[in-house]
Amino acid sequence: MRFSFFSPVKIVFGQNQAENLPRLVKSMGKKCFVVTGEDQSRFSFLFSGMQKAGITWETFAQKGEPSIDQVTGAAEKARQANVDVVLAIGGGSVLDAAKAVAALVTNRDDIMEYLEVIGRGNPLVQRPAPLIAVPTTSGTGAEVTCNAVLASPEHGVKVSMRSEMMYPDVALVDPCLARFMPGDVTAFTGMDSLTQLIEAFVSRFSNPYTDALCREGMARSARSLRRALSNGQDLDAREDLSMAALFSGIALANAKLGAVHGIAGPMGGMISAPHGLICAVLLAPVMAENVRQLEQSGIPDSSTLAKFGEVAAILTGNSQAGVEQGCGWIRELVVEMDLPSLSRFGLDRAVCRAVSHKALQASSMKGNPVDLDEKAMAALLEAVS
């Protein structure tokens, strides 16, 4: 067995740990560049603590998913302000934007030098500005990953800026902050992290470290996602989902993902559907197709097939559950969530054809346990359109 595992982020986890934010910021500097979402009022108590600690800051409000133009503009603002540290308070989009900003503060070449797919993909030269990531949702695990997903409307795709130097220095994960999430965001983010855990678990690049994180994360998601949806103030459920998202981020950073994210990336660049919604709709069909192809491969003792069985057992709480029951559990959950159809966001046959071609080239496909061809991809997309 050969594998590598790397996770350099200092993790501060627990209810009410956000109270320690001023101390953490002050340990890195006195002038801060704060990246948040549009509604900053929910976290006024955090800014009050920073003010008392003598910290000054400039604020950038990230609206929606970050684009290349948005982060380059924010980085220029941060450079002009001569900040010591970048602070991200928000969901995955905010955290991704902040990671890109921190990198661009010190690496001043055109961003196309560093972007994958549409750019030159060159490595960063200088270490990014210090970065503290404070997630307020429980989905992407971006607080412990080393890439930033950015939209390029001009190219109709989402691409990554990626470097091992882009890991945040500190991830402060306080489940109490997730209480502000509305039900639909809880559903979308919860399904994103669950998908990441499952895909990393069955990935070609999984290892004993990531497997352990995925098992624990899947169990926490399975027992608490419904609870958080029915009662957003259930802190035990919020703690489970925060932990699951955290573990999913560490796992995917080391084991990669699979076809769900291989499809979701290009699809998200072409239609306006939330990323977590795309993952929720695709998860069961992709699992079923992977299992079908593994069974047809003629390897009855496949370790990956066994892992899919383990996923089913964890999700259903039934050690005897088969993959069909696991997929059924996911489908039932999606129905209960009453999620909108992807067609409402513009998914049609023409988009499906374009997504199918782009998905086969996506980096996430490298971790999928089987090689999906165009025919299989077309069938998957037809099933969800």
* DSSP conformational letter for 113: G
pLDDT the model gives residue 363: 84
The top-scoring range by mean pLDDT among 149-163, 225-239, 259-273 is: 225-239
Q: What is the mean pLDDT of residues 16-39?
A: 94
The ranges of the chain annotated as CATH 1.20.1090.10 are: 182-384
Place of tokens 């307020």: 136
278-309: pLDDT as tens digits: 999 999 999 999 999 999 887 666 799 999 99
Pairs from 278-281 (Cβ < 8 Å, separation ≥ 24) = 278/342, 279/191, 279/192, 279/195, 280/187, 280/188, 280/191, 280/195, 280/334, 280/337, 280/339, 281/334, 281/339, 281/342, 281/384
* Phi–psi pair at 87, nearest 5 degrees: -125, 125
Q: Report the C-alpha gap between 243 and 291 in whole angstroms.
A: 28
pLDDT the model gives residue 299: 67
pLDDT the model gives residue 123: 96
Neighbouring-strand partners of residue 134: 89
The ranges of the chain annotated as CATH 3.40.50.1970 are: 10-177
Instruction: List the structure tokens of 170.
Output: 């500190």
Q: Report the C-alpha gap between 302 and 320 in whole angstroms.
A: 18
| Amino acid in the structure at residue 167 | Y
CATH number for the 182-384 domain, one of 1.10.10.10, 2.60.120.10, 3.90.550.10, 1.20.1090.10? 1.20.1090.10
CATH topology of domain 10-177: Rossmann fold (3.40.50)
Query: In sequence order, which ranges of 231-317 are alpha helices (DSSP H)?
Result: 235-255, 259-270, 275-296, 303-316
> What are the angstrom distances between the C-alpha of 335 and each of 146, 185, 189, 229, 269?
33, 16, 16, 13, 25
Q: Report the C-alpha gap between 268 and 278 in whole angstroms.
A: 8
Angle at 210 between CA 214 and CA 257, to 5 degrees: 80
pTM reported for the whole predicted model: 0.95
65-119: pLDDT as tens digits: 899 999 999 999 999 999 999 999 999 999 999 999 999 999 999 999 999 989 9
* Phi–psi pair at 159, nearest 5 degrees: -130, 165
Percent residues over pLDDT 70 in the chain: 99
